[in-house]
Structure 1
Amino acid sequence: MRWNYRLLIDREWSGRNAVALSAGVNGIYLLRANLDVAFYDSGRQINPLTARLTGNVAGVMKLFNRCGWQAEPESDASLPHQYSLMARQGVPRQDDWS
């Protein structure tokens, strides 16, 4: 299964230049500025990561769950493809394995 992945800048995320999303295309879209506020420089997550998911959302949510991530749909009905992603507490990080 093929997935499109895009890291978007502010003007591609919203407004007249926003990237058009298609429910029929498997895609994961992240806002670059949101990455900066969602994680410390060390990589530890401190805030939810906002993502837009399209296509086989159930499949990618299952994958996220296996990898220790929880994806919840945003409550704003005007943004049907928008989700909040959080790493679950207690899931070992790769640097904890050594």
Structure 2
Amino acid sequence: NTDAEGRLVLADALAQAESVEAGLAAYQARRRDRVVRVVATANGNARKYHLRSAPVRGAAHLALRLAGRVAPGAMLRQFDWIYGHDVTAGAAP
């Protein structure tokens, strides 16, 4: 998902820039905060889903399964900002 976003933003930034260097700088400025947040979220998920302690891992996975049954979409809604993002909004026509 972020790879496709990156390609679109890079193409747009380069198309609008007066030089490649300016386009790359604009690309970095537009992408940095979002990519940092995506990576932090991925790292947080890795810690949650790959717990080393078997008892803690079992309890955490049980809680996730129960939450999935009680509120099926709740776990996924926390990622709406990733998957619902329209990278073309505000791009040059």
- Which band: TM-score by shorter chain? under 0.3
User: TM-score, normalised to structure 2's length?
Assistant: 0.22
User: TM-score, normalised to structure 1's length?
Assistant: 0.21
Structure in which a larger fraction of residues adopt helix: 2
Where relative contact order (Cα < 8 A, 6+ residues apart) is larger, the structure is 2
Larger radius of gyration: 2
Structure in which a larger fraction of residues adopt strand: 1
